[in-house]
Amino acid sequence: MTVQATKSPKKKTATKSVTADKPARPAKAGISTGDEKPESKKPAAAPKKAATKSKPKAADVPAVVMPDATQDVVFDPELVAKMKKIIAAYTDQHAALDQITEDTDNNFIQVLHIDSVDVVEIIIDTEKEFSITIEDEEIKHLKTFKLLYLLVEQKIKAVAS
């Protein structure tokens, strides 16, 4: 390969020419001379998968411990009022809400015509109001106002201790 340099008053340039008697050298990385042979395309190695966590076995997952709804409970009127205030924001059945007492066995979600999105909002608002966390598995078991009350009360006591 012969390199000819030409000088100009403002800039320097270099040109390459290849002679038939010398083989072309490979270009430096990232610089193309136009003389290169296309590289054979090898299939790229598959990226390594990150180690995935296996699903916990039934024995590994702690069972959801819901409060006993059959127990006799002395309800805190202030806690009941706060909970009903949270629920009231998500129902237009205010007369039905007033009739729900701590020992009502009806599914308050159905009685108050609360949809699933609103149930999630009620849980979020309850968690914020009382600085607690209610797990998804616990939510599935909340059918009556009494169960909700007992769960909230249990969580508040757990946080306090």
CATH of the domain at 112: 1.10.1200.10
Q: Could you tell me the pLDDT band of residue 58, with boundaries at 50, 70 and 90?
A: very low
Closest CA to 112 of 85, 92, 140: 92
Q: Which residues contact 35 (CB under 8 A, 6 or more apart)?
A: 18, 24, 27
> pLDDT, tens digit, for every residue of 142-158?
888 889 999 999 999 99
> pLDDT, tens digit, for every residue of 9-26?
555 555 554 555 555 555
> Is 99 contained in some domain?
yes
As for how many domains the chain has, the answer is 1
> Is 11 contained in some domain?
no
